[in-house]
Amino acid sequence: MDLPPEISVFILSLTAPFILYTINHSVCLSVFAVFSFTSVVSITNALQHHGFIKGFMDFYISKGEPYLSTAHGIMMSYWDGVVHYGLLLIMAHHMTAGKPFRSLALVWAGSMIASEIVLITGVVVGKYGKNLLPAFWRNAPSLVLPIWAAAKLLNRPRELSIIPADKVEVEQKKTLLSRPTDLLLTLGLMGSIIFTAFRGFVVLECSLDFCFTYIFQYEPYMKDSVGFPKVTMLVFLFYVLPLLTACVYGLYTPGCTWMLDWTLVLAGAVAQMQWTHLGASVHSRTPFTYRIPKDEWRQVVTLNLLYTAVPVLLAVRCYMDQTFFMKNVPQEQASNGKKNN
């Protein structure tokens, strides 16, 4: 059984103009066009599973990717169909209008890479790994292409503000205590580091009493056999934790221009994984015993939202005020610049 013709036309009608427009444009725009199609499929999947539409995805879910009907798959589909699709459209507009799009693309790449790492690994190690269907392998290019795009973007010149050398010098002489915003973000990052390490130990079956208490009384979803929550926590532990630690260093040490890029990647990755994890933790398709307990719902949701907010706010701070992260200007060069002015 194939998709009804009217459904195929509907999906193609949303993406065909975008795809056709890229024929004479850059390779990056062509990649964005391909992912725009998958984003439309994703939002179709999410809307069907919540009863807004019918008959669009039945065949594909049953014969292709059954894990997309899980709570994780549905929440991931919402993110892909709304956030990723929105970013793709904005980036396409910026590219065709000659406007900078690098920062948006790094957020998209971080989000896509995190999404696919969790999905692919979770399927393989979880209960769906026993019967992988051919459609599963379409996720491989969905991981490889964003990595390739991120590598190309990181090699492109940064979108730096024009800041006078004397202003850079003054800002970089300030200590962390003299920069209250950075101090608060540093404290938030340190709290995030502790929380990340703690949840990583929890899914690794730490035998300490408070680890046992947390997974049973606060976030039992981590025990779900689908595999996605455990993989999510391990990605946080092995990939996000080092980046969070590096960001603490970047806020303390002036001239770390890499912060302007990697905070965007980090924000996209953390926001995507937290949306999917938290949403699946309360979703009706998650077995009741694995959902966040009603008595602890407010504390767990608040803690997860704060955890998500820290890297997002850090990325906004780095993007809005780049002065502290600019390359150090030699004293002689700064003095010469003043004389010339």
Q: Tell me which residue of 272, 237, 308 sits closest to 110, measured CA to CA.
A: 272
Query: Cα dihedral angle (248, 253, 254, 256), rounded to 10 degrees?
Result: -60
CA distances (Å), origin 336, targets 172, 248, 324, 339, 341:
19, 33, 21, 5, 9
Task: Please state at what angle helix 71-79 crosses helix 27-49, rounded to 10 degrees.
Answer: 130
Rounded Cα distance between 111 and 312, Å, is: 12
**Domain residue ranges of the chain, discontinuous segments joined by +:** 5-155, 165-325
What is the CA 337 to chain-centroid distance, rounded? 41
Rounded Cα distance between 335 and 296, Å, is: 59
pLDDT at 218 (0 to 100): 94
b or e along 274-307 (b: 16 or more beta carbons within 10 Å of the residue's beta carbon)? bbbbbbbbebeebeeebbbeeeeeeebeebbeeb
What DSSP line would sit under 118-146, residue for residue? HHHHHHHHSGGGGG--GGGGGHHHHHHHH
pLDDT at 274 (0 to 100): 97
Taking only the tens place, the pLDDT of each residue in 96-108 is 888 888 999 999 9
What is the CA 135 to chain-centroid distance, rounded? 23
Q: Tell me which residue of 45, 63, 43 sits closest to 136, measured CA to CA.
A: 63
Q: What percent of the chain stands above pLDDT 90?
A: 57
Give 3-state DSSP helix, strand, coil % of the chain, rounded to 5: 80, 0, 20
User: Cα dihedral sign for 199, 204, 208, 210?
Assistant: positive
Taking only the tens place, the pLDDT of each residue in 124-164 is 998 888 888 888 998 998 999 899 989 988 888 877 777 88
∠48-51-53 over CA atoms, to 5°?
A: 55
What is the model's pTM?
0.87
Residue type, 216: F
Residue 85: both structure tokens together? 């699709």
Positions in the chain whose pLDDT score sits under 70: 1-28, 328-341
List all residues 6 or more positions away from 308 whose beta carbon is below 8 Å from its beta carbon. Answer: 270, 271, 274, 275, 278
pLDDT at 329 (0 to 100): 56
Residue 4 DSSP class: P
